[in-house]
Amino acid sequence: MKQIFLLLTFLAIGSGLLAGQLNITIDSNRFLDEKGNTIFEINYQIPYKDLKFARTEQGFVARLKVDFALSKGEKTAYHDDFVNKIIMKDAATAGSSCFFSDKIILTLAGSGYLLTVIFSDEEADKSIDYNHELNILPKNTLLSEIEFLFDVVDDSTKLHEKFHRDGKLFFLNSSHIYTLPENDRLWLYYVYYPPPDSTGLFFETIKIKRKEQTILESVAEIQISYSAIPITKHLDISHLEEGYYELVISSGFDSLLQKEIAHDYFSIRKEKVFSQRLFIDLEDEFMLLKYFLTSKQTSTWKTLTEQGKINFLNRFWSVNDPDPTTGKNEFLLAVKERVDYCNNKFSYFKEGWKTARGRIYIKHDEPDEIIKLQTGITAKYAQKDYQIWKYRTDTELTYIFIDLHTSGNYRLIYVEDDDTESSDPKWRIYLGEDFDPGLLE
């Protein structure tokens, strides 16, 4: 019943039923060591966005305190506490849905212990208590409990040692919730313990069931060894619908009547994508984004599918959100205000945000100074209106725009200190020999 309790508890937290507490997921799994003692692994995870990060010289820092005690009756057998110091380099990561993961590992020879853990966000003054009775596995058990994972990758480094097994890094999923299409495989880890002197083949059947109906079934045969048999495998769940599923593992040996069945549970949900866009048309949105992107970043646009282009646009706005914890994207809102201003002030034969002045205004906001002039009598062409835009607060940028066709649609002819724009070689001819270069200072 352990897994049912955990899933129901944390679905309640996720739905806001336990307001004011940490949104942390906890899962415990039991394994046997070589002496038949039970190893308890208490895995816990919390999204970065549910922690409070403080800005420091090191970056964005959160502190998750873990205070745990092991007791039997009224006597405390063991007590310890520690603080997980979580450091992120930028606000975007600190406000993301990525997880911080850790685990508590205990080894016991007897049952009847109560584990009490208090998880506390020291910056937000939020906490949650976890209480779990620890009962050991029978020494003659065939099968450990099942650990749910997001992924397993080869990793020979010594980083994250708690999550390594046999040269592989295990990405835990303590919530047992898989989001499609990102998590299209269900990874599992468990251990078989052959009885002494057993020989022959070991038989295993894995079933995924929903509402008593078998959705997926996998059968395997494994040669028995004289030591524990660790199993790491994955199942394709990309075709599953949203909902709650039962996992059933049946196992036994051909030379014995002994057989075990393990039950566990997981759920599937599908990612709900909320598009962040200013324009309905994808190409218009990309044209706007090109004002901020390098040529290398834009070169793959034409190779993307429609969904790929949507993901590209969403990623741009998300990455540039200065503070994801606010619930609104301040950068997107600022750009929207600039687009609206340009459409109001610079629209003539085309929308203002698509004009040269619109492009510069959207990239850099309102200039510190605008000088409005007319070309002199020495200019090659008839007298034209032109403007000098200066940015001096954070940068030293200068632009000259000229209304060559007296239509109100100004063209950019001169750029200073902006490598993303270029000057027209004829800019001095347009302005005339009597143009004062001192105006550019």
Query: Tokens 């970043």 appear where?
Result: 297
| DSSP state letters, 69-88 | EEEETTEEEEEEEEEEEEEE
Mean pLDDT of 234-263: 84
At residue 257, the pLDDT reads: 53
Position 1 pLDDT exceeds 50: no
Share of the chain above pLDDT 90, in %: 57
Percentage above 70 pLDDT, the chain: 93
Model confidence band, residue 402 (pLDDT cutoffs 50, 70, 90):
very high
Could you say which architecture CATH assigns to the domain 140-272? Sandwich (2.60)
**Count of alpha carbons within 13 angstroms of residue 322, beta-carbon side:** 6
State the pLDDT at residue 198. 75
Q: Is the pLDDT of residue 226 over 80?
A: no
Render pLDDT for 105-139 as a digit per residue (tens, 0 to 9): 999 999 999 999 999 999 988 899 999 999 999 99
d(CA 173, CA 10): 13
pLDDT of residue 20: 57
* Amino acid (one-letter) located at 88: M
In the chain, CATH 2.60.40.10 sits at: 1-138
What confidence score (pLDDT) does residue 15 get? 34
Q: Is the pLDDT of residue 295 over 50?
A: yes
Residues 65-121 pLDDT 10s: 999 999 998 899 999 999 999 998 887 788 887 889 999 999 999 999 999 999 999
Sheet-wide strand order for 25-32: 25-32, 38-47, 99-108
pLDDT above 50 (res 19):
no
**Count of C-beta atoms within a 10 Å radius of residue 127:** 17
Task: Evaluate if residue 210 carries a pLDDT over 90.
Answer: yes
Amino acid at 20: G
Give the residues across from 209 on adjacent strands. 214, 246
The pLDDT of residue 233 is: 94
The boundaries of every CATH 2.60.40.3880 domain in the chain are 140-272
Residue 325, pLDDT score: 67
- What lies within 8 Å, CB to CB, of 390 at 6+ separation is 367, 368, 369, 370, 371, 397, 398
The token pair at 116 is 């009490």
- Report whether CATH 2.60.40.10 matches the domain 1-138: yes
pTM for the full predicted model: 0.62
State the average pLDDT for the chain: 87
Give the pLDDT confidence score for residue 64 in this predicted structure. Answer: 95
- Which residue did the predictor score with more confidence, 92 or 299? 299
Residue written as token pair 């990793």: 155
**Residue 5 pLDDT greater than 60, yes or no:** no
